Amino acid sequence: MSQLDVTQARANFPSLQSGYIFADNAGGSQVTQFVVDYISDYLLNTNVQLGADYSVSVLSTQRVASGPEVVAKLFNATSPNEIVFGASSTLNLENLARGLEPDIQPGDEFIITGEHEANTGPWKKLAARRGATIKYWHPVPTSPNNPYSIGSRIEDLIPLITAKTRIVAISACSNILGSVVPVKKVVEAVRAEGVAKGAKKIEVSVDCVAYAPHRRIDVQDWDVDYCVFSFYKVYGPHISALYVRSAALVGSVQSLAHHFLRVDDVSYKLQPGGPGYELVYGTTATLPYLLSLTPQNDLQASFDAIEAHEQALLEPLLGYLSAPEQYTRGVRIVGQELSGPSRVPTVSFVVVGDKPLRSKDIVDVFDKKGGIGIRWGHFYAYTLVDSLEPKVDVDDGVVRISLVHYNTVEEVHRIIAILKEILN
């Protein structure tokens, strides 16, 4: 396995040269110089309407068309026609739900995880509009000593599937818990149980927003119907990409585009008005950056190197927060307490007990010291945070420290040093 050259990786991000420690990456990563250059070049040199025959429009059209081609590789989709762009993952999934509306029948059942609202809200609203039923795949405690150490188990999902199951919407990685869900195993189990129960049509939607910065997506291997992530959390511009399986484009989704456009079998049917041209072109800079991280120029090798480095970031932070003295102090990790392949370096915690601390007050100390950005709150995973037992104030939420491959071990120790001042 190739080792990640963190210094080389950091050199691609102008914002990192300031020395500021960006540790709120799950809310939005930093952007590479390549992306800025692509967007600037598009706006300065090819900022015209698409589809005309004059030379600048021809080039502009080619540039925008290269977006779906590149993103198809990031999803491992079979065709660029399966790629939808939208301003955010929330918007993409809302449009998907609207497109699916005629195909949903009263009595259909949706299974959702209650994670980020982007992949729960659209399904709840769709169910309300069409008379479908919502079921929750809830995480359960995984530690005898920490009730906030929770995770999702496949064996709790299977009983929820019936002959009426129509949509299963899951998160590949939790933006609160930091836990990675084995998507392929989940989908295999869902489809097998659906066949056994006589379900006519089950489609799976996967939220990869918190997954995409850390692991490689493979929609073909996973056998999913819909998948979404946000480029602004994967070192790119503020735009989202949605994968829609070709069969679903034809057989499940109606067009949201203008009535006179022939888009029956292409993703444009879920892009009413079209995406921002310069942002679509800007996304094409992300793949070359990821490929540059290892000598193999191979996407899987790059993500393997990212995972290895991120484990080195995760271990000291989890080690400190889960140490016996911190447990005695009242520190409770929200999510998996151990590092490993099923964990990304998004770490949430609360401080309870005899000397509790509000999450906001902990982050305020960092803000006043300056130089480090972390955050508190529910991070749009409102249902998950509100369901924690014992109860936490959902509006105060958790403290979240979210790292990615361009962070350094030295930065982690600077974060720990401030935590020691607060918690001692």
The pLDDT of 26-51, averaged and rounded, is 97
For the chain, residues classed under CATH 3.40.640.10 are 42-289
Confidence at residue 259, expressed as pLDDT on a 0 to 100 scale:
85
Confidence at residue 180, expressed as pLDDT on a 0 to 100 scale:
97
Provide the mean pLDDT of the chain: 96
Confidence at residue 208, expressed as pLDDT on a 0 to 100 scale:
98
- Inter-residue contact 400 to 348 (CB < 8 Å): yes
| CATH class entry, domain 42-289 | alpha beta
* pLDDT surpasses 90 at 339: no
Architecture of domain 6-28+296-423: Alpha-Beta Complex (3.90)
Residue 267 pLDDT grade (very low, low, confident, very high; cuts 50, 70, 90): confident
Encode pLDDT of 112-144 as tens digits. 998 999 999 999 999 999 999 999 999 999 999
Q: What is the DSSP string of 83-94?
A: EEEESSHHHHHH
Sign of torsion, CA 222 89 400 371?
positive
Lowest average pLDDT, out of 196-210, 223-237, 257-271, 376-390, goes to 257-271
Confidence at residue 264, expressed as pLDDT on a 0 to 100 scale:
75
Encode pLDDT of 84-96 as tens digits. 999 999 999 999 9
Dmax of the chain from CA atoms? 72
Confidence at residue 266, expressed as pLDDT on a 0 to 100 scale:
79
Confidence at residue 268, expressed as pLDDT on a 0 to 100 scale:
87
The pLDDT of 152-161, averaged and rounded, is 97
The pLDDT of 231-247, averaged and rounded, is 97
Identity of the residue numbered 9 = A
- Distances 296 to 48, 76, 97, 367 between C-alpha atoms, Å: 37, 18, 39, 40
Lowest average pLDDT, out of 10-14, 273-277, 358-362, 378-382, goes to 273-277
Confidence at residue 161, expressed as pLDDT on a 0 to 100 scale:
98
For the chain, residues classed under CATH 3.90.1150.10 are 6-28+296-423
Confidence at residue 135, expressed as pLDDT on a 0 to 100 scale:
98
- Inter-residue contact 95 to 103 (CB < 8 Å): no
C-alpha to C-alpha distance for 234 and 296, rounded to whole angstroms: 20
Confidence at residue 16, expressed as pLDDT on a 0 to 100 scale:
98
* pLDDT surpasses 90 at 2: no
Identity of the residue numbered 386 = D
Percent of the chain with pLDDT over 70: 100
Residue 192 pLDDT grade (very low, low, confident, very high; cuts 50, 70, 90): very high
Identity of the residue numbered 177 = L
